[in-house]
Amino acid sequence: MRKKIALVGLVVLIIGIAMAAGGYYETTSTLSHDLHTAVKSDPSNKTEYITNNMTMSSGYELIVTSNSTHEGLIKASDLSKVNSNASLGHYLIKPTSSAAGAEVYTGLAAGTYVFVAFNNTTPAIGYEYASLTALQLGGSLIVIGAIAAFIGFIILIVGLVLKKKEPKNPAEDTFNTQ
């Protein structure tokens, strides 16, 4: 009986680890990211810095970090119209949320975007984007896999710690009719 319990625990542990690893792979393989320490500057405007084009499908989530104070996400088609911090405000796409130097954009329409910063020194701009559905699926697999692995570990330990059942001594059995 102990061996069966330990075997069940081991199987559940392995399945949980596989699910968590699959979720991690799903999450990281769908991320498209780039960290720019030196972004392209506009030759005609030495204070304007832009990222590479980011082509996204609908349903993507974009997370941008930057050390610049005058910055924003715009459609790539509007880039020629933005040449100062003042004009940036007219084409700026507002982030869904922001905290600790990171801006999060969700619900963006399919298209090509660039992140623009106006700064006297070259800013460090990093960004990651991925399908929100893929991130949710991967995150769910990680959580469910971790829970299954934990339960499997507990069952395995219980199966290994249980004592063997001692066979009953027929001489001590009061209902023995021999």
Q: Is the dihedral of CA 154, 160, 161, 164 positive or negative?
A: positive
Q: What is the DSSP letter of 16?
A: H
Closest by CA position to 111, among listed 63, 76, 82 = 76
For the chain, the domains span 2-23+136-161, 38-123
At 145, is the secondary structure helix, strand, or coil? helix
At 9, is the secondary structure helix, strand, or coil? helix
Pairing between β-strand 54-56 and β-strand 97-99 as defined by DSSP bridges: unpaired
Whole-model pTM over 0.95: no
Cα distance between residue 90 and residue 110, in whole Å? 20
pLDDT at 37: 47
Mean pLDDT per block of 10 residues along the chain (178 residues) reads 87 92 80 56 75 84 84 90 84 88 87 88 81 77 92 91 71 56
pLDDT at 153: 93
